[in-house]
Structure 1
Amino acid sequence: MSFADSYLGRLRKLIGHRLVLVPGARIVIERDDGFILLHKRTDFDAWGLPGGSAEEGEDIETIIMREVAEETGLVVRDVKPFAFGSNPRYESFEFPNGDRTQFFVLIFYTRSFTGEAAAMDDESSAVGWFAPGALPEMLPNMARSAEAYVRFKKTGEFQMI
């Protein structure tokens, strides 16, 4: 689905670049060797976790499953929440086109997926598997999400970031 056809794209036609509060999801997909999947975003030319915004009529698990398939080609199963991101200091962005957004995201993890990861849409220029202790330069909210996953694995406690 193109951005223009998405719920947020249609909303942007009405409100322009004004700040909009957006619910969504992101996910840490972990391989058996502990490496996690990132995609290189074309909007900020930085690495991030797969994820995105809600479409009309979707529940939160459907959002993350759709976004992962659209961005990476993987089919994920058994997604479990481990964190919630809402700190406006990290979840507020002005995109290169001037759109302003504050995200409220449920952050999932899974070790259950099928397929081969590949950059599947115009939002991603590359995908790659990285060790959590050796991540490339990421958007700050994405880096905080990856750090929260490491803490969650150690403590088992839900992370509010």
Structure 2
Amino acid sequence: MPTPEYIKDLRQDIGHKELLLPAVTAVVIRHVDNNSNQLPAPEVLLVKRVDNGDWGVTSGIMEPGEGPASAAVREVAEEAGVVARPVRVASVADHGLVVYPNGDRCRFTDICFEMEYVSGSPHVADDESTHAGWFSTEALPEPFTHQHRERILAALNSGAPATF
């Protein structure tokens, strides 16, 4: 989903001034059994962004009245057509200042979830990405969103407390 309508409405009032926005990142992990004695590296669901060509995990802005876990589930379904279940909060972080080509300025407070794959075959399900698929966590494609590498590492540390 592109920019939510409520943010477009805010922009009419405040122009390009900096907004602090709640966001979620969903690191969907899938374990593949290769029928060998060695456990393969888990796979992670990735999408390739239309705007900058970077690969990353699914992420997005929370809607008014929406809980963080529900937003993570929605973003995965909207962006990659996959059903996933939140397992735990893996990290909470400031995404840093983002300045868009039109001059809009945003800071995202991101809640990252470790997510368990439930069902569905990854595909481009909206206009925000050009590709969607599973990748080994040991062989992530390039170019890759820097913050998402950190969030994948936090999600892979299953059972650990969230990082801040």
Q: TM-score, normalised by structure 2?
A: 0.84
The 8 Å contact of residues 22 and 62 in structure 2, kept in 1 or not, is answered as yes
Q: Which residue of 2 aligns with 1:67?
A: 75
Write out the 4+ residue segments of structure 1 that deviate beyond 6 Å after TM superposition: none
Q: Identical aligned pairs, as a percentage?
A: 33
Q: Deviations over 1:65-86 (max 9, x none)?
A: 1111111111222442111111
In the alignment, the residues of structure 2 paired with residue 76 and residue 22 of structure 1 have an alpha-carbon distance, to the nearest angstrom, of 23
In the alignment, the residues of structure 1 paired with residue 2 and residue 124 of structure 2 have an alpha-carbon distance, to the nearest angstrom, of 15
Q: Which residue of 1 aligns with 2:160?
A: 156
More helix by share: 1
Matched ranges for 1:3-152 at <5 A: 3=3, 5-33=4-32, 34-86=42-94, 90-136=95-141, 137-150=143-156, 152=157
In the alignment, the residues of structure 2 paired with residue 64 and residue 15 of structure 1 have an alpha-carbon distance, to the nearest angstrom, of 27
Deviation at 1:2, TM superposition (A): 4.7
The 8 Å contact of residues 19 and 101 in structure 1, kept in 2 or not, is answered as yes
In the alignment, the residues of structure 1 paired with residue 150 and residue 24 of structure 2 have an alpha-carbon distance, to the nearest angstrom, of 14
- Whichever residue aligns with residue 92 of structure 2, its letter is F
Larger Rg over CA atoms = 2
Q: Structure 1 residues 61 and 50 mapped into 2: Cα distance closer, same or farther (>3 Å)? A: same
More strand by share: 2
Q: Structure 1 residues 42 and 104 mapped into 2: Cα distance closer, same or farther (>3 Å)? A: same
Deviation at 1:16, TM superposition (A): 2.3
In the alignment, the residues of structure 1 paired with residue 102 and residue 53 of structure 2 have an alpha-carbon distance, to the nearest angstrom, of 14
Q: TM-score, normalised by structure 1?
A: 0.85
Q: Deviations over 1:93-141 (max 9, x none)?
A: 1223322211101100122321111111111111121122221221222
The RMSD of aligned alpha carbons is 1.9
- Whichever residue aligns with residue 156 of structure 1, its letter is A
Q: How many corresponding residue pairs?
A: 154
